[in-house]
Amino acid sequence: MTAMVKAEAVHKSFGPTRVLKGIDLEVDPGEVFCIVGPSGSGKSTFLRCINHLEKINAGRLYVDGNLVGYREHGGRLYELRDREVAAQRRDIGMVFQRFNLFPHMTALENVAEAPVQVNRESKAQARERAGGLLERVGLGDKTGSYPSQLSGGQQQRVAIARALAMEPKLMLFDEPTSALDPELVGEVLDVMRDLARDGMTMVVVTHEMGFAREVGDSLVFMDDGVVVESGSPRDVLTDPQHERTRSFLSKVL
CA distance 69 to 84: 8
For residue 186, state whether it binds other proteins (rule: CB under 8 A): yes
Note whether 101 binds other proteins by CB under 8 A. yes
- Among the listed ranges 7-15, 110-118, 198-206, 225-233, the one in contact with other proteins (CB under 8 A) is 110-118
H or E, element range at 113: helix 107-117
Should residue 189 be labelled a site residue for other proteins when binding is judged by CB under 8 A?
Answer: yes
92 interacts with other proteins by CB under 8 A: yes
Q: Are strands 66-67 and 32-36 parallel, antiparallel or unpaired?
A: unpaired
Site pattern 137..176 for other proteins (x: CB under 8 A): ---------xxxx---------x--xx--x-----x----
Q: Which region among 16-24, 80-88, 129-137, 196-204 touches other proteins (by CB under 8 A)?
A: 80-88
Q: How far apart are CA 7 and CA 26, in angstroms?
A: 6
**CB of 4 or CB of 159, closer to other proteins:** 159
By CB under 8 A, residue 64 contacts other proteins:
no
147-155: long-range contacts (C-beta < 8 A, 24 or more apart)?
147/99, 147/101, 147/102, 147/103, 147/107, 147/110, 148/103, 150/107, 151/184, 152/99, 152/179, 152/180, 152/181, 152/184, 153/180, 153/181, 153/184, 153/185, 153/187, 153/188, 154/187, 155/99, 155/101
Query: Is position 80 an interface residue for other proteins (rule: CB under 8 A)?
Result: no
Which residues are at the interface with other proteins (CB under 8 A)? 51, 53, 82-83, 86-87, 89-90, 92-94, 96, 98, 100-106, 113-114, 117-118, 146-149, 159, 162-163, 166, 172, 183, 185-186, 189, 208-211, 213-214, 253
